[in-house]
Amino acid sequence: MAFNIIYTIETIIKLIAFDSDFFKDGWNSFDFVIVVAAWVGTVANNIDGLDIGHATTIIKSFRICRIFKIIKKYKSLRILFYTFIGAI
């Protein structure tokens, strides 16, 4: 829940700062979809009688993809990531 709130605040600040240019960046669009999906999943889990199964788990797993944004940006982290993947 704490991360949902933090990412929501981040998205709202970006929406205000970038205005109409926000959705021109693919990563911003991806972040927006993840934030909305996380809140939809949270609300769906709290509604009695609504069983959407493992869909919320799948939606939450997409948040892990945000790490790829960070890896793409920082070369040293990218090297560490590929080393980790190679070790596995």
% of the chain surpassing 70 pLDDT: 84
Question: Does 7 fall in a domain?
Answer: yes
Contacts of 14 (CB under 8 A, 6+ apart): 22, 28, 31
Question: Does 48 fall in a domain?
Answer: yes
pLDDT of residue 53: 61
Reported pTM: 0.61
Number of domains within the chain: 1
* Per-residue pLDDT tens over the stretch 37-48: 888 877 877 776
CA distances from 21 to 9, 15, 28, 41 (A): 18, 9, 10, 27
CA distances from 58 to 22, 64, 83 (A): 25, 11, 27
Question: Does 32 fall in a domain?
Answer: yes
pLDDT of residue 69: 72
